[in-house]
Amino acid sequence: MNISRKQRNLLLYSEIIKEYKWLHKLLLKNETLKLEDVPQEFITDFTYVVPVILKQCGEEWKGDENVVNPVEDLGANRKKCRLCGTPTRYLCYIQNKINGKRINIGRDCAEDFVDLNSLVDGKTKGQLIANAKEVRRFSEINKRFPGLEQTIEAWLHRTEKYDIVLPRKMEEPYNESGEVLRDLYRNYLKGIESEQVIEEIEARISSEKSTIEMFEKYQETNRNTPFIATRKMIHWLKNRADQKTENILRENGKVTFETVSYIWEKEYVDKHISIVKELFLAVGANFLGIDHEIGGYTFQYGRSRVTLYISFKSFFELFGNYVLGEGDRSPAALTINNIIKISQIVNDHNMKIQYLDELKFCLREYGNDIDYEDEDLDSNTIYIWDNEVSKFAKCKLSEIIRLTKGIVMGLPKPTINNIESFVASLAGKRFSREELRDIRDVLSSI
């Protein structure tokens, strides 16, 4: 907080200064005022009350068209601007709305220092007098509670700042008390409440300290608590516009069976990796880790060397309750069949080739076959043997992968019968090996 020379001069011409003798005296002795020039006994008032006095002071003054269009051109016979002291040729005037005092200022000060909009559409004399009373009460209450306005402001936002989200029942009474305090304070300033509220304000403020201590202890105690609700989770849910989950999470202060299916925020996922790893190991899968780029867990199974992944979304929606240790509430049993059913192959060309090589090997044991070349993969195409007609049927690669994952992973399903009835259901022309070769020769010669 500083008072500049211009501010000082305007203050000295203003009405509001008369109510603040200590400030008046200081301004008469000093051209500008810095915190270090202020005697100890007025430091609090200087810090908290002076900004309000300055604002009120600015509002006391009005200009008319003369502010914008100077009334007098003094030529060489210049006159000092009453705010900055610079000799000026063109004179402008501003007038105090309360005491009617009129002072001449230079054009620069009229433009820079005085907010022309507030001068033109400013407050009436009656409003200014009411405001001055408010400033007076503001100054009184600040003597008792320095920085009360800032205290209340901080109070109203405190619970939203903690990393560990406070459960509703913990933060609600505190926030409500802050709102009551704010209303008492505002009503006191307006003169609706008398000095009697000061005792209640006092009581509320002194009880705040122990509440904050409790909040801080809660932060410390729960920093490493599994499934505790964090600010990051709240942001993450806000980004997903999932207000329902956010509400329940805030209510409880931790993840429960109601919310576990809807949350897979990064830090939260990282925190529970060991639990998830155990779950994969328990069904015999080889857990590889977290891949935040694809947004899922990667793993391998059986003798296959193909890397599969299961998205966080699918995993938590179906198996989140297992992570919580409440598997019996889960919508699906955590079995290797179910995991593989909802998994996908890592989207990588070499990994697809690895998969198809393994699939070809498995199918040959049943007298079936697939035919593919590199280019086919890019167009999501594959040819699968149709035993009925001893030719190949064209099919989507993604569909084949979805259908045959169990075979490659060595699971009992699907059976070769499942595969063959799928092939039989495919529409379209069948191709002999020679025809496939011809098609590819033609394509590669283009």
* Residue placing its CB nearer to Zn ion in the complex, 95 or 256: 95
* Residue placing its CB nearer to Zn ion in the complex, 31 or 270: 31
Cα gap 306→388, rounded to integer Å: 30
Residue span binding Zn ion (CB under 5 A) among the ranges 76-84, 152-160, 219-227, 364-372: 76-84
Binding flag, residue 81, Zn ion (CB under 5 A): yes
Cα gap 165→152, rounded to integer Å: 21
ω into residue 331 within 30 of 0, thus cis? no
We find the least distance from the C-beta atom of residue 28 to Zn ion, in angstroms, to be 20
We find the least distance from the C-beta atom of residue 109 to Zn ion, in angstroms, to be 3
Q: Which of 10, 83, 340, 384 binds Zn ion (CB under 5 A)?
A: 83
Task: Name which of residues 95 to 154 contact Zn ion (CB under 5 A).
Answer: 106, 109
* Residue placing its CB nearer to Zn ion in the complex, 78 or 440: 78
* Residue placing its CB nearer to Zn ion in the complex, 54 or 165: 54
With beta carbons less than 8 A apart as the criterion, state whether 320 and 326 touch: no
We find the least distance from the C-beta atom of residue 57 to Zn ion, in angstroms, to be 16
With beta carbons less than 8 A apart as the criterion, state whether 229 and 253 touch: yes
Helix (H, G, I), strand (E, B) or coil at 396: strand
Binding flag, residue 49, Zn ion (CB under 5 A): no
We find the least distance from the C-beta atom of residue 7 to Zn ion, in angstroms, to be 12
- Burial state string for 24-33 with b = 16 or more CB within 10 A and e = fewer than 16: eebbeeeeeb
We find the least distance from the C-beta atom of residue 20 to Zn ion, in angstroms, to be 24
Cα gap 186→318, rounded to integer Å: 52
Helix (H, G, I), strand (E, B) or coil at 68: helix
**Two structure tokens written together for 14:** 């203003």
Beta strand residue intervals within 4-101, DSSP E? 33-34, 61-63, 72-73, 79-80, 87-88, 90-96
We find the least distance from the C-beta atom of residue 95 to Zn ion, in angstroms, to be 16
Output Rg (C-alpha) for the chain, integer angstroms: 38
* Residue placing its CB nearer to Zn ion in the complex, 109 or 370: 109
Q: Which of 43, 84, 294, 351 binds Zn ion (CB under 5 A)?
A: 84
Residue span binding Zn ion (CB under 5 A) among the ranges 45-53, 80-88, 139-147, 265-273: 80-88
* Residue placing its CB nearer to Zn ion in the complex, 5 or 440: 5
- Burial state string for 385-402 with b = 16 or more CB within 10 A and e = fewer than 16: bbeeeebbbbbebeebbe
* Residue placing its CB nearer to Zn ion in the complex, 53 or 83: 83
**Two structure tokens written together for 429:** 């022309």
With beta carbons less than 8 A apart as the criterion, state whether 65 and 23 touch: no
**Two structure tokens written together for 164:** 């560990």
Residue span binding Zn ion (CB under 5 A) among the ranges 81-89, 245-253, 358-366, 378-386: 81-89
We find the least distance from the C-beta atom of residue 231 to Zn ion, in angstroms, to be 49
Say how many residues touch Zn ion, by CB under 5 A: 5
Binding flag, residue 416, Zn ion (CB under 5 A): no
Binding residues (CB under 5 A) for Zn ion: these are 81, 83-84, 106, 109
